[in-house]
Amino acid sequence: MNIANATRATARKRKAIVVVAINLAVGGLHFVTGADYPGPWRTFVNGHLIGVALPFAVYFLLALNDSAIGVLRPWFVKSAIVFGVVSSAEAAQCFGIPMFGETYAPWDFVAYAAGSLLAAATDRILFPRLFPFWTGTAIS
């Protein structure tokens, strides 16, 4: 393995660690939110926080594969896929099909869009500044 390949492999591993941490944090939110949540911004936390956080986390799961799957490289493709998948569940709820929940809320579409766009901004703007190994584009 030459130095360039070793550097890319290290970058992929570090990127995976960040993505796992994001997804574990979002998973952990499910244990502290809900009907018994006593903290601040109760309405937002119980109504929309997971709606923003879940697409944010799923975006980064796709980002792990963007070097292997070329179509995933542009941020807007990842955002569109994430928004489409989570919105399809909400649309199913609108028609009485319980898919990942039973309560239809139109504002969830706004939360899903916000989460997927926030993830794209984080991927392209914030993470490249925080992590030297994060290029904001696919690590091949």
Q: What is the pLDDT of residues 84-122, one digit of tens each?
A: 999 999 999 999 888 877 888 899 999 999 999 999 999
Closest Cα partner for 116 from 44, 32, 67, 58? 58
**How many Å apart are CA 81 and CA 17, to the nearest integer?**
23
pLDDT interval class at 137 (50, 70, 90): low
Q: Average model confidence (pLDDT) for the chain?
A: 88
Closest Cα partner for 31 from 44, 17, 18, 50? 50
Is the pLDDT assigned to residue 22 strictly greater than 80? yes
Q: Which pLDDT score, from 0 to 100, does residue 139 have?
A: 47
**pTM for this entry:** 0.87
Q: Which pLDDT score, from 0 to 100, does residue 99 have?
A: 81
Q: Which of 4-8, 19-23, 45-49, 111-115 has the lowest mean pLDDT?
A: 4-8
Is the pLDDT assigned to residue 1 strictly greater than 60? no
Q: With beta carbons less than 8 A apart as the criterion, state whether 18 and 127 touch.
A: yes
